[in-house]
Every structure is written in C-alpha cells, then in structure tokens.
Structure 1
Amino acid sequence: MTNDQKLYYGKNITVKFQPEKCIHSGVCVKGLPAVFNVSRRPWVEPDADAAEAIARHIDKCPSGALRYEILDQE
C-alpha cells in the first residue's frame, strides 16, 4: 500500500484523500455533490459548502479514504 495522499485546500477546511483506501461506495458524491464531483477536476471543491457540513459528511466515509483538517479561523 502506498501513502499517496491528495490534499484539497479550502478557506476553512483541507480535505485529504487516500485513493488506495477508497472502496468507491459513492457516499461522498451522493451526499455532497457540490463538493465531491468525479466529473470535475479537481473532483473535490472544499469551498462549495460549510467546513462543518463537509466534516460531518466525511465522517460517514466507510473506508476512511477521506479525512479532513478544520483550519483555525481567527
């Protein structure tokens, strides 16, 4: 297993994706299609919704391929 992690930077959240862990369940694209859209490059748009909403949705990822870091908002 490689440790290829892709990072998608938003104003308030960084979305981290490990493609080798993804089981292609579709939970991400079905639940937040404005943020996760495989027809678009980059396929993750972290500013398309509130950071908290994205974080709650990423927590539903069954494989753990998606992770996030909420950025400090000072």
Structure 2
Amino acid sequence: MSQQKLYYGKDIEVMFNSEICTHSGICVKGFPAVFDLSKRPWVNPDAAPAEEIARHIDKCPSGALTYKRLDTENSLKKEE
C-alpha cells in the first residue's frame, strides 16, 4: 500500500511518499511557507513560485518529495 499523497497547485503538483521519507527536515526548515507541519494540508504548492518549490524539492535527500511542473513544457522532474 503506497503512502504517496498528492498536493495540487496552480503551477506545480507536489507528491510526498511517507514510506521513504527519512525525516531530515530539509523541507520544513528550509521552506516553511510551503511545508508547514502545523497546517492541514501541510504542503501548500501555491505559497511560492513553482520554480522555487522545485529547486527546494530537488534538495530532498530521500526522494520522498517529487513534483510535476504544470507551468513549463519540461514538466516532469524527479518523478519516477
């Protein structure tokens, strides 16, 4: 059973797979406007430009966070 959740935004979709998350905290410590554990949903893909969110997700060491860009032709990144 996959523990993947999808968070829809206007320009980017963010996927989170809790099964592979190592809880490094890079997401919440580095970009609290988008990743905030005190809010539901905890991921707000419209809280910043898609490019900034994508760059931050690229830093996820476990690969638990991936995304699909909706605002560019090369929309898939880090989604496997």
Report the TM range for the smaller structure's normalisation. over 0.9
Per the normalisation by structure 1, the TM-score is 0.92
Gapped regions of structure 2 (runs ≥ 5): 73-80
How many residue pairs were aligned?
A: 72
CA RMSD of aligned residues (A): 1.0
Gaps of 5+ in 1: none
Inter-partner Cα distance in structure 1 for 2:63 and 2:57 = 8
Percent pairwise identity: 68
Q: In structure 1, how many angstroms separate the alpha carbons of the residues matched to 2:57 and 2:2? A: 19
Structure with larger RCO (C-alpha < 8 A, sep 6+): 1
Any idea what the Cα deviations from partners look like across 1:17-63, whole Å, max 9, x if unmatched?
00011111000011110000001110000000000000000000000
Which portions of structure 1, spanning 4 or more consecutive aligned residues, are displaced by more than 4 angstroms?
none
Instruction: Check if 1:31 corresponds to 2:18.
Output: no
Which residue matches 1:10? 9
